[in-house]
Amino acid sequence: MKILHTSDWHLGRTLYGRKRYEEFEAFLSWLAETIQKNEIDSLLVAGDVFDNSIPSNRAQGLYYRFLCRVAASSCRHVVIVAGNHDSPSFLNAPKELLRVLDIHVIGSASEAMEDEVLVLRNEQDEPELIVCAVPYLRDRDIRMAEAGESVDDKERKLIHGIRNHYAAVAGLAEQRRTELGAEIPIVAMGHLFTAGGQILDGDGVRELYVGSLAHVTAGIFPACFSYLALGHLHVPQKVNGSETIRYSGSPLPMGFGEAKQQKSVCLVEFYGTHACVKLIDVPVFQRLERVKGDLESISSRILELSATSAQAWLEVVYEGEEVRGDLRERLEAAISGTQMEILRIKNNRIIDRVLGQIHEKEMLDDLSVNDVFERCLAAHEVPEDQRPELLRAYRETLSSLYEEDQQAQ
Please tell me what DSSP assigns to residue 261: P
Q: pTM, whole model, 2 decimals?
A: 0.83
Q: How far is CA 111 from CA 27, 386, 396, in A?
A: 35, 39, 24
pLDDT in tens, 145-188: 666 667 677 777 888 889 999 999 999 999 999 999 999 999 99
Which of 179-183, 298-302, 403-407 has the least mean pLDDT?
403-407
Q: In the CATH hierarchy, which top-level class contains the domain 287-363? A: alpha beta
Mean confidence (pLDDT) of the chain: 87
- Strands 14-15 vs 312-318: parallel, antiparallel or unpaired: unpaired
Q: What CATH number does the domain located at 2-281 have?
A: 3.60.21.10
Q: What's the confidence (pLDDT) of residue 213? A: 46
Q: What's the confidence (pLDDT) of residue 291? A: 93
Domain extents in the chain = 2-281, 287-363, 367-409
Topology agreement, domain 2-281 and domain 287-363: no
367/277 Cα distance (integer angstroms) = 37
* Cβ burial, residue 231 (10 Å; 0-12/13-18/19+): buried
